[in-house]
Amino acid sequence: MILADKIIRLRKQCGWSQEDLAEKMNVSRQSVSKWESANSIPDLNRIITLAEIFEVSTDFLLKDETEVSETLESVSQTNLISLEQALAYTDKKVTVSELITKGVVLCVCSVVPLFFFLAMAETSRLGISGNTAAVLGVVSILIMISIAVSYFIKTNQYEDDFVAIDKQPFELAYGVHSVISDKLHRFRPRYNRRLSIAIFLFIVSFVPLMIANQLFSGGTSVLMMLIVMMLMIATGIYVISSVSAKYTAYSHILQEGGLKEGRSKRAKKAEKLAAFYWPMLVAIYLGWSLWTMNWGETWIIWPVGAVLFVALIGLVELFDKDDLHGTD
């Protein structure tokens, strides 16, 4: 086994990426990549440093006839990701994000027809009663949520495309890291702009509702401002989702699968919580509204529910941190 193969095996045994080893050696990642591809050989001082870092002898590194130990042979192989695979992974992540975004936007906007019909019932512009407006609104909610669920289900067909990068250890082929880094660098300003716009929309989305409550006494104005609020929230979600997916994909590729285990677990818990929380909130809203038939007041469940969801996510992270400290 030649030196290049030994460096690869020893590095993998330590669980390091090429960047990790480069940092310990005080060299560039490209240098480590060239050593491992046998395009160059580290000088004697580097050999000594490698031996110290890996806790092996210099003879082990330099003599080709020296066999690797069983421990090295048992090191699991990692996937080598080419530039084409990395770009395809990013594109499919964006595609999945777009499907999820459509579903989420439909869920958020599902109450818009209900608010609209209720407002029209109060003003008698469409000649419908409050009960008719409620029925039309509930039917609209069910239809839009059904379409949203179909988008969520459709994302399952892409799961197998992400296994090599999302669920298995991997390394980047030579040159891929620099290309993706350059793409991320050029993409970051666009991501920051979209993020700023989305945050602005989320923050000011409650302003029309507060103004309506202060300046207008009729329920129609409140309902119309609720529509504006929901549309602003949906717009914010649409603005940030696709760029966030691409930014996250680039970052994950550059980390070579090195996402923190705790962070991954928290994300999974948040996803499970969201899958249970929002359908339950819709059910509570519909049940409360249909029971009281006071649609002009039951809307309050949405801003309260959104704040409560953020608080629950914070509690999940807090408990996870406590668990981590307890196991240290």
Digit-by-digit pLDDT tens for the chain (328 residues) are: 678 888 888 887 777 788 888 888 899 888 888 888 888 888 888 889 888 888 888 888 877 654 444 444 444 456 778 888 889 989 998 998 899 889 888 988 888 998 899 888 888 777 888 888 888 988 998 999 899 989 988 988 887 777 667 777 777 776 788 888 899 999 999 999 998 998 888 888 878 777 776 777 666 787 888 888 889 988 988 998 888 889 888 988 887 544 444 444 555 555 566 666 766 777 777 677 667 766 556 767 766 777 677 667 666 656 654 444 444 4
- 120 Cβ contact list (under 8 Å, min separation 6): 126, 128, 133
Phi-psi region of 147 (alpha: psi -120 to 50; beta: other; left: phi over 0): alpha
CA distance 159 to 81: 17
Q: Which helix (H) or strand (E) holds 76?
A: none
Place of tokens 């440093």: 49
Task: Count the neighbouring beta carbons within 10 Å of the beta carbon of residue 277.
Answer: 16
Query: Please, are residues 128 and 117 in contact by the beta-carbon 8 Å criterion?
Result: yes
- The CATH fold of domain 3-62: 434 Repressor (Amino-terminal Domain) (1.10.260)
Query: Please, are residues 166 and 259 in contact by the beta-carbon 8 Å criterion?
Result: no
CA distance 89 to 172: 13
**Whole-prediction pTM value?**
0.62
Length of the chain: 328
Query: Which SS3 state, helix, strand or coil, does residue 67 take?
Result: coil
Q: What are the boundaries of each domain within the chain?
A: 3-62, 79-257, 265-323
